[in-house]
Amino acid sequence: MIAWHDSPVVIGGRTILHRVAFRAKAGELVALVGPNGAGKSTLLRALAGLLPGAPKQDSRRVAWLPQGARCAWGLTVAEVAALGRIPHGDADPAPVERALAACGLLELRDSRIDRLSGGQARRAMLARVLAGEPAVLLLDEPTADLDPAAAHEVMALLRVRARAGACVVVVLHDLGLALQHATRMVVLADGRITADATPGDALPAAAAAFGLPYGLDKRPRLLPPVR
Amino acid sequence: MRAALAVLVLALLGLALLVGATGFGVPEAAILWELRLPRALLAALIGGGLGLSGAVLQGAVRNPLADPALLGIGGAAGLGVVLAFYWGLGLAFAPALPLAGLVGAALGCCVLFAFAGRAPSAPSLILAGVGLSALASAMQVLALAFAPNPYALAEVTFWLMGGLADRAPLHVALAAPPILLGGAIMLRLGRGLDALALGEETAASLGVPVGRTLALAAAGVALVVGAATAVGGGIGFVGLVVPHLLRPFLGERPSALLAGSARGGAALLLAADLVARAAPLLLPLSQEPPLGVLTALLGAPFLVRIARRMAP
Amino acid sequence: MPRDGHPLSGPARWKKFFCFFLFTKRSAFFLLAFPAQAAPDIVSLNLCTDQYLLALAPERAAAVTFLARDPDLSVMAATAAGIPTVRADAEAVLALRPALVLAAPWGARATLDALVRRGVAVERITPPTDFAGIRATFRHLGARLGASDRAEALLAQMDDAPRAAQGAAIALEPRGLTAGPGSLRDAVLRAAGLANAGDGRQLSLEALARTPATLLVLAPPPAYPARATEFLAHPVLAHHPRREIPPRLTICGGPWTADAVALLAR
């Protein structure tokens, strides 16, 4: 489990996060949603212990995947995944193999990551996170660049992890993915948590945060704006 | 591959003892021990240190164009050495020269890493290096204008071209400790540099002490470049060329390149110095081609090649 | 220069300036037309011609280079101390209104071309590289400067030094360059009876290490730290005999160069 309830986060004179209380338990798959600039990535960094002054996290227990993660060198997929073992200080091949298999990368293991498609590279980055077998996974938009099928695959993978006892927090832009896969949805707007409930119950707040029309109806029709 | 490089270094070291200004073959003892051996050892030490420094710098700033000389660290070290030399510190206390080179190189590294911390693009990093080089050379010229030796500027022009001719055992004693210490520091940075491939924040999330890793990288590079500049003058491009040549064989992982780059750098500089020594024997030259000029002749096309490959 | 309270201002000041300009032009003309015998009217722009001028006709030296005042480089440093110095700058030289400008065959091309265009006589003197050349140069310059007697007197002091020394020697210059055949230092070594082991190329410490009896002919060590002479501290040179010759005796060949031979032959 992982939690953040601390003083506001102010960067460059702007309050990115107000005093928010967030916690996620083992077995949960929490979707963090909200418009750009709402403070989702900052909250994830805070949870990962990466903000200056925040308490450091145990890197063997907590893994973090940044938005648009990339690798400076042309490492092979297997080498990238093996970087996930750095916190453990070992080169245990078994967890790396499991991570590659889980991400469907066994055939690409010797391909250079800078020669893969965006989606393949994204999966290799995810394999790096899984290879450390962390109890807490903090993932910032792991489904960006992925086609819908691949995005669902990644979310399914994370759901399996959560069911196996991991605590997964995912920043998502796709509300559909959140509805379908998350066990809980936390809506952030302007640095505040405006909803924290099951995805279905939090959806109105999420739609409001995005300024989107919202409605649940069987028949397709134009929906009046909320408010 | 690494074993092959080690064998190559040993072979070149042996060959270096057999070539000198008086010709090819085994010379008498005084020439062997006091001229050829110090020179061969310095080429291996400086080349190895510079090759390793290049691999470490490239890993630290995540940029294949990084090279101690290209990024101005060599120039900053040269400024320190020039100041110490022409103000007589080197005459009073010989280790003052590598120490002054170390201080200059360390300052250069600090400026550069402070800039690189903001993850600059390759061109802006290189421009920062160009700026640092220009600043260092301008300050050298300014300092030399006040030096008591009226020929200081002319001398330094030659010295900046690099060279290991006529070095004595004393120079090995001056250069070896800082280069070996810096090398030992840098060889232990592999894991941290691997993690840095994913960016400084991700490296921190992997439990890598990023600040400490960069500080140790700067310290290692400064120890090597400071001592190398104090003894060999301006020898550039070794750190650029060697990791680039080795990546197809050893892979792109920064940790996989460290030991190989040290050996490859030693082999490269030994070979270049052999060319410098053999050239006056084979060609009608009035003096040896400067070593730094030879490495630049080799390295400049590589710079163009890497830059072109990086261009989108 | 104090500006306020100037007696002339505005147009009056300009008029005065132009009058001054015309006046100087005219007087320059007269100076060129009727050179006064003892007036300082010769400018030298090279260390060697500085010394030749100061040795032969110091009273005619209008200006020399600042190098002539350096006692390490110039045998005429004491005389030069009382002579103005000038850089190779056409404007500065023209302001001295010289009848003759002495220079080396190399360098200052643009300056000398400008002087020639303004009608100034320029003579380029090639510094001699042997003793016959020294005699020829001094006789030529003595005639040109109207000081033939002084030239002969100076050359007469140049006694033919005995070839008293023996063996091989090598004249070392900074950065390990050696004096090869055809150079003044080669002539000095041979005049002293020594065989020049230098070939004009950069010194090879290895070759020198094999001939430990070779005499090293050097300049006295400089008072300041110098990279160019660091190689002299190399241990393989520790046992070579050394003889120091002040560089001012051999930088520019002159009657004084015989003193260098005497120092070696001693």
> In this predicted structure, what is the pLDDT of residue A216?
58
DSSP string across C10-37: THHHHHHHHHHHHHHHHHHHHHHHS--S
Nearest Cα residue to B107 out of B143, B71, B141? B71
* C202 with B158: Cβ contact below 8 A: no
Neighbours of A162 (CB within 10 A): 23
Alpha-carbon span B41 to B173, nearest angstrom: 10
Q: Which fold has domain C31-156?
A: Rossmann fold (3.40.50)
pLDDT number for residue A16: 84
Lowest mean pLDDT among A179-188, B294-303, C56-65, C104-113: C104-113
A71 pLDDT higher than 80: yes
How far apart CA B123 and CA A192 sit, in angstroms, is 39
B285: left (phi over 0), alpha (psi -120 to 50) or beta: beta
Q: What is the DSSP letter of B36?
A: I
What residue of C is the nearest CA neighbor of B86?
Answer: C225
* Average pLDDT value over all residues in chain A: 88
**Stretch B261-272: mean pLDDT:** 97
Per the model's pLDDT, the better-predicted residue between A79 and B305 turns out to be A79
- Give the tens place of pLDDT for each residue, B269-299: 999 999 998 988 888 887 789 999 999 999 9
- Residues of chain C that touch chain B, judged by Cβ-Cβ distance less than 8 Å: 174-177, 200-202, 204-207, 209-210, 222-228, 231, 233-236
Residues A81, B188: Cα–Cα separation, whole Å: 21
| Stretch A89-113: mean pLDDT | 93
Task: Give a yes or no: residue B288 inside a domain.
Answer: yes
CA C118/CA A129 separation, integer angstroms = 83
Measured between beta carbons, the chain B residues lying within 8 angstroms of A79 are 251-253
Say if residue A8 is in the same domain as residue A56: yes
Nearest to A59 among B194, B207, B251 (CB): B207
Task: Say which residue, A40 or A221, is predicted with more confidence.
Answer: A40
- Identify whether residues A220 and A167 lie together within a single domain: yes
Chain B CB contacts of C236 under 8 Å are: 30-31, 34-35
pLDDT attached to residue C121: 94
In the predicted model, is pLDDT for residue B91 greater than 80? Answer: no
- CA A73/CA B255 separation, integer angstroms: 12
Fold annotation for C168-265: Rossmann fold (3.40.50)
Q: Give strand pairing partners of A196.
A: A186
| Range from A165-179, C21-35, C218-232 that averages highest in pLDDT | A165-179
pLDDT tops 50 at residue C63 = yes
With a cut of 80, say whether residue C23 has pLDDT above it: no
**Can you tell me the mean pLDDT for B113-122?**
69
Q: Are residues A124 and A161 in the same domain?
A: no
| Average of per-residue pLDDT across B14-27 | 88
Contact A5, A179 (CB under 8 A): no
Residue in A48, A72, A73 nearest the CB of B205: A48
- Helices B122-145 and B96-116 sit at what angle, rounded to 10 degrees? 150
How would residue C50 be classed by pLDDT, with cut points 50, 70 and 90? Answer: very high
- Strand pairing category for A14-17 and C121-124: unpaired
A144 and A98 housed in the same domain: no
Q: How far, in Å, CA of C117 to CA of C90, rounded? A: 10
- B137 vs B54, residue with greater confidence: B54
Q: Where are the alpha helices (H) located in chain A, listed in sequence order?
A: 40-48, 77-82, 93-102, 118-131, 148-163, 175-181, 199-210
* Residues in Cβ contact with A177 at an 8 Å cutoff, skipping those fewer than 6 apart: A31, A143, A151, A152, A155
Residue showing tokens 């007269």: C30
Candidates C202, C205, C236; nearest CB to B286: C202
Query: Can you state the percent helix, strand and coil of chain A, rounding each to 5?
Result: 40, 20, 40
Query: Do A141 and A198 fall into the same domain?
Result: yes
Q: What is the ipTM of this complex?
A: 0.89
Q: Is B194 close to A86, i.e. CB distance below 8 A?
A: yes
**What is the average pLDDT across C84-113?**
89
Q: Is the pLDDT of residue C33 over 60?
A: no
Cα of A46 vs its chain's centroid, Å:
13
Least confident of B181-185, C25-29, C176-180: C25-29
Strand, coil or helix: what is C169?
strand
Nearest Cα neighbor of B68 from B55, B81, B80 is B55
Test the B interface: residue of C47, C69, C205 with most B CBs within 10 Å: C205
Is residue C15 over pLDDT 70?
no
Choose the mutation target among A73, A75, A76 for the interface with B, i.e. most B CBs under 10 Å: A73
Residue type, C44: S
Percent of chain C with pLDDT over 90: 52
- pLDDT greater than 70 at residue A180: yes
Collapsing DSSP to helix, strand or coil, A92 comes out as: coil
Q: CA C252: distance to chain centroid?
A: 5
pTM: 0.82
By mean pLDDT, which of A175-184, A192-201, C61-70, C151-160 is the weakest?
C151-160
* Domains of chain C, residue spans: 31-156, 168-265
Is the same domain home to A5 and A44? yes
Closest residue in chain B to residue C201, using alpha carbons only: B286
Where would I find the H helices in C57-98?
Answer: 77-80, 90-95
Q: Which two tokens stand for residue C58?
A: 């110091």
pLDDT score of A215: 63
pLDDT at C36: 44
Angle C257-C260-C262 (CA atoms, 0-180°, nearest 5)?
A: 115
In whole angstroms, what is the distance from residue A20 CA to residue C263 CA?
Answer: 93
Any idea what the CATH number is for the domain that residue B121 is in?
1.10.3470.10
Same domain, A129 and A206: no
Q: Bigger pLDDT: B54 or B168?
A: B54
Whether the pLDDT of residue A49 is over 80: the answer is: yes
Q: What is the pLDDT of residue C37?
A: 52
Q: What is the largest CA-CA distance in chain C?
A: 80
What is the tens place of the pLDDT at every residue in B201-222? 999 999 999 889 999 999 999 9
Are B245 and B264 in contact by the 8 Å Cβ rule? The answer is yes
Secondary structure class of A111 (helix, strand, coil) = coil
User: Is the Cβ pair B199, A69 closer than 8 Å?
Assistant: yes
**One domain for residues A48 and A94:** no
Provide the CA B293 distance to its chain's centre, in angstroms.
Answer: 14
From B21, B28, B158, residue closest to C204, measured CB to CB: B21
Give the amino acid at C203: L
Look at residue B213 in the predicted model and tell me its pLDDT. 92
**Nearest-CB residue to A64 (from B191, B194, B205):** B205
| Residue B273 host element (H or E) | helix B254-282
In angstroms, the CA C32 to CA C28 distance is 6
B21 lies in some domain: no
The residues, any chain, with a CB within 8 Å of residue A120's CB and separated by 6 or more, are: A77, A105, A108, A111
- Which residues partner with A24 through β-bridges? A2
List the one residue out of A55, A78, A50, A36 whose CA is nearest residue A171.
Answer: A36
Contact B166 C205 (CB under 8 A): yes
CB A28 within 8 A of CB A164: no
Name residue C186's amino acid: D
Domains contained in chain B, number: 1
Residues A101 and A209 in one domain: no
pLDDT of residue B160: 85
Chain B nearest-CA distance from C114, in A, is 28
Closest approach of chain B CAs to the CA of C207, in angstroms? 6
What CATH number has the domain bearing residue A171?
A: 3.40.50.300
- Does residue B187 form part of some domain? yes
Say if the Cβ atoms of A72 and B205 lie within 8 Å.
no
Residues 6 or more apart from C259 whose CB is under 8 A from it?
Answer: C249
Q: How far apart are CA B207 and CA C250, in angstroms?
A: 70
pLDDT of residue A146: 84
- Of all residues in chain B, the one with the smallest CA distance to C222 is B149
**Chains A and B: 3 or more CB pairs within 8 Å of each other:** yes
Positive or negative torsion for Cα B95, B98, B104, B109: negative
How far is the C-alpha of B125 from the C-alpha of B114, rounded, in Å? Answer: 11
Phi-psi region at B306: left, alpha or beta (left = phi > 0; alpha = psi -120 to 50): alpha
* pLDDT value of residue C211: 85
Q: Measured between CA atoms, how close is B61 to chain C, in angstroms?
A: 35
Residue-number span of the structural domain to which A8 is assigned: 1-61+135-227
Can C31-156 and C168-265 be said to share one CATH topology?
yes
Cross-strand bridge partners of residue C121: C100
C6 three-class SS: coil
Quick: pLDDT tens for B171-211: 999 999 999 999 999 999 999 999 999 998 999 999 999 88
User: Band of the pLDDT at B148, cuts 50, 70, 90?
Assistant: confident
Residue C35 has pLDDT above 60, yes or no: no
> Cα separation of B240 and B68, whole Å?
8
